[in-house]
Amino acid sequence: MPFNKKKKKYFAALLIIGDEILSGRTQDTNTNFLANWLNEHGIQVREVRVIPDLRHEIMKSINYLRKKYDYLFTTGGIGPTHDDITAESVAKAFKVKYEYNKEAYKILKDHYKNSYFNAARKKMAKMPKGAGLILNPSSSAPGFFIKNVYVLPGVPIILKSMMHYLEQLIVGGQKKLSENIKIDFPESKVSKVFSNLQKKFKDLSLGSYPFFKSGKVGVSLVISGYSSKRIFDCKKQLLLKLKKIKPH
Amino acid sequence: MPFNKKKKKYFAALLIIGDEILSGRTQDTNTNFLANWLNEHGIQVREVRVIPDLRHEIMKSINYLRKKYDYLFTTGGIGPTHDDITAESVAKAFKVKYEYNKEAYKILKDHYKNSYFNAARKKMAKMPKGAGLILNPSSSAPGFFIKNVYVLPGVPIILKSMMHYLEQLIVGGQKKLSENIKIDFPESKVSKVFSNLQKKFKDLSLGSYPFFKSGKVGVSLVISGYSSKRIFDCKKQLLLKLKKIKPH
């Protein structure tokens, strides 16, 4: 990353664009991948929206989310076919021209030098005026960014291959840290202790997530926040209190 | 289902409530499961939002989505701990009391008859006044519905076990049908043919989804819509045109 204001907190939204997610045809995994990757880079995902391939829905969501959060990352809809309307809709959202990006055009022309560089392939070089590129080492068609909106492909393997380039374009802040304690008795046995600790440690987030394994009930207690010292103190107190609870 | 107006189309939104999805700790699979299940029951998911465990975010999203769509299904935040605030937030969104549901209280009391029925467990019987139950055969704590909002748990195995009961509470309409043609040449080779077909079949949705398998590029062409005859005609024309395209 070019620059890291350690003390600032950064928040992001993800906009997952694609009928195939909404129809249930495709299991989205980009949300989980990006949430983890961004967290590692000091950016917290605070909201995700999945919307269909419809111009007005894309425009409306982009304009709402880009103003609400430090960053907006979109996935999907930047391929060569008629249903790939993300780039065009981003241009409309920003009220700028949708035109060939010279650099992207050159990259694609070089990539397709041994086969036909047809209209569909050329379309992948069309972007909002003023956009910067996010390079794509796997299938060459670049993503792009304009202001705080970063436009990425939907195919997970291609998206992942572009993270090295994305990393150089974004600025992250404080990383959210977390500790996870797994215990094998039910959530409702620890909820009082856990809730009292939350009141004591207001700067931390305490979450509990039940799980089921080989017919047994258990719970993951997750303490998260920005201060490792506070998380350590909270965990210590939690462990002391857990010792006093009878598991059954 | 109790009643099925075959000719009507029904649309739904999903609201996935949980910090654990946004932090990347948990991969959400409820969206994909519910999208498929609802589609089978004649309800199309048109929007999904993932939001944190924050009262005002939950309330705002519920009031927006329930008015925009025929149905809203929420997952997450109905357990026994302090971070489970969905039921309370739904009551606030509807401006009704948040109180013990007598039927839910009885179910939970019976379920915990051999262990302590503590405050945390009792909390799972608290719901918006006037809510109806969605029974839970696996861990007993029921979900509920109020008007067109259906509140479900976040743990996938529990959610799935409740579908039999949910099915009896919802009314579905026309089912969206689809055909999938997989071809092993790049998306950009078929985009013109596919786009022209879309213009001809305006009542259908034509989507193309690239895939990568054993180093080869291919594309899934998906034709979807409400008329099996129209889908059949479109597929026939597509197959004829695909025959004329050189794969390389």
Let me know whether B159 and B119 are in one domain. Answer: yes
Q: Identify all chain B residues contacting A49, using CB atoms and an 8 Å cutoff.
A: 47-50
Confidence of residue B245 (pLDDT cuts 50, 70, 90): confident
Mean pLDDT of chain B: 93
Please, which residues 159-198 of chain A have a Cβ atom closer than 8 Å to chain B? 176, 178, 187-192, 194-195, 198
Q: Answer whether residue A4 is part of any domain.
A: no
Two tokens, residue B133: 């139950």
Q: Looking at the domain assignment, is residue A5 inside a domain?
A: no
* Residue A202 contacts B, CB cutoff 8 Å: no
Q: Quick check: B6 pLDDT over 80?
A: no
The long-range contacts involving B188-192, CB below 8 angstroms and separated by at least 24 positions, are B188/A79, B188/A80, B188/A81, B188/A118, B188/A120, B188/A121, B188/A124, B189/A120, B189/B245, B189/B247, B190/A81, B190/B219, B190/B221, B190/B242, B190/B245, B191/A80, B191/A81, B191/A82, B191/A120, B191/A123, B192/A118, B192/A119, B192/A120
Q: Is the pLDDT of residue A2 over 60?
A: no
Strands B149-152 and A143-146: unpaired
Of all residues in chain A, the one with the smallest CA distance to B198 is A82
Look at A82 and B53 and tell me if their CB atoms are within 8 Å.
no
Q: Does B111 contact chain A (CB < 8 Å)?
A: no
Residue A63 falls within a domain, yes or no?
yes
Rounded to whole angstroms, the Cα distance separating A135 from A165 reads 6
| CA–CA distance, A170 with A83 (Å, rounded to integer) | 29
Higher pLDDT, B214 or B220: B220
How much of chain A exceeds pLDDT 70, in percent?
96
**Do the domain assignments include residue B145?**
yes
The full DSSP string for A190-234 is HHHHHHHHHHH-TTSEEEEEEEEETTEEEEEEEEEES-HHHHHHH
Question: Minimal Cα–Cα distance from B244 to chain A, Å?
Answer: 16
Give the CA radius of gyration of chain B. 22
Q: What's the mean pLDDT in A135-155?
A: 96
- Residue B196 and residue B154 share a domain: no
- What residues contact B245, with CB distance under 8 A and at least 6 apart? B185, B189, B190, B193
Q: Tokens 């258990």 appear where?
A: A218
> Is B172 within the bounds of a domain?
no
Looking at the structure, tell me whether residues A133 and A103 fall in a common domain: yes
Last residue of a domain, one of B167, B185, B211: B167
Q: How far apart are CA B94 and CA B87, in angstroms?
A: 11
Encode pLDDT of A7-44 as tens digits.
Answer: 799 999 999 999 999 999 999 999 999 999 999 999 99
Which residue's structure tokens are 């309330």? B59
Chain B CB contacts of A46 under 8 Å are 22, 52
Judged by CB atoms closer than 8 Å, whether chains meet at A22 and B46 is answered as yes
Determine the Cα–Cα distance for residues B198 and B178; give it in Å rounded to an integer.
14
Q: What percentage of chain B exceeds 70 in pLDDT?
A: 96
Fill in the DSSP letter of residue B138: T
Q: How many domains, in total, are found in chain A?
A: 2
Which residues form the domain of B220? 177-243
CATH of the domain at B225: 3.30.70
Measured between alpha carbons, how far is B144 from A3 in angstroms, rounded to an integer?
Answer: 48
For chain B, give the longest Cα–Cα distance: 72
Residue A3 has pLDDT above 60, yes or no: no
Fill in the amino acid letter for A110: D
Confidence of residue A189 (pLDDT cuts 50, 70, 90): confident
Look at B24 and A46 and tell me if their CB atoms are within 8 Å.
no
Indicate the residue among B167, B191, B221 that finishes a domain.
Answer: B167
Least confident of A53-57, A217-221, B75-79: A217-221
Examine the domain organization and report whether A52 and A107 are in the same domain: yes
- The conformational region for residue B95 under phi > 0 = left, psi -120 to 50 = alpha, else beta, is left
The bridge status of strand A126-128 relative to strand A205-213 is unpaired
Confidence band for B4, pLDDT divided at 50, 70 and 90: low
Q: What is the DSSP string of A48-83?
A: EEEE-S-HHHHHHHHHHHHHHSSEEEEES--SSSTT
Of B113, B140, B167, which closes a domain? Answer: B167
Provide the residue type at B227 as one letter.
S
State the pLDDT at residue B114: 78
Least confident of A157-171, B73-87, B164-178, B210-224: B210-224
pLDDT confidence of B247, banded at 50, 70, 90? low
Nearest CA in chain B to A18: B207
pLDDT for A146 beyond 90: yes
Adjacent-strand bridge partners of B223: B179, B206
Ramachandran sector of residue B163 (left: φ over 0; alpha: ψ -120 to 50; beta: rest):
alpha
A29, A102, A212, A238 from A242: Cα distances, Å: 35, 62, 20, 6
